[in-house]
Amino acid sequence: MRKGKASFIIYGLIILAAIGIVWNLVTNPAGFLTNILMMVIMGLVLFGILYFVVFGRRGSSSEEKKYKQAVRQSKSKYTQNRNTVQTYQNQQPSTIKKKNKKRPNHLRVIDGNKAKRKKRASN
């Protein structure tokens, strides 16, 4: 029962907010666009501050630096192997064609009327 009442209240608030936004857009479009622009700018500023505060502290640990160094080393190791494989494949001549092997025929034809055929050929 409580979930039903809470969902009605939430739906009611959403409907009232939508009506308010539409009313503000109809009556004062310039003010509405200014408010939206200010909200977006403030959101970006807050996001930037939080991003640099949270991720700035996390990346300064020595373990993180060691991990990043290991990742760089492994990338350089495996990218060299890929380059050598690609150069080897490029050096092979492209004029060699694969031979089309004819598969053996697994079905055998059984001639049941050989006598009739011989008679027709002799006629």
pLDDT tens digit sequence for 51-95:
888 877 665 678 888 899 999 988 888 886 555 555 555 566 556
Identify whether 17 is part of a domain: yes
Identify whether 123 is part of a domain: no
C-alpha angle with apex 53: 52 to 56, nearest 5 degrees?
Answer: 65
Residue 4, CA distances (Å) to 7, 9, 10, 53 in order: 5, 9, 10, 41
**How much is the average pLDDT of 23-45?**
94
Identify whether 95 is part of a domain: no
Number of structural domains the chain divides into: 1
Identify whether 99 is part of a domain: no
Identify whether 108 is part of a domain: no
Identify whether 88 is part of a domain: no
Question: Which pLDDT value is given to residue 14?
Answer: 95
Beta-carbon contacts of residue 24 (< 8 Å; ≥ 6 apart): 31, 32, 35
Taking phi over 0 as left and psi of -120 to 50 as alpha, with beta for the rest, 96 belongs to beta
Question: Which pLDDT value is given to residue 48?
Answer: 93
Residue 42: name the closest of 52, 31, 34 by CA.
34
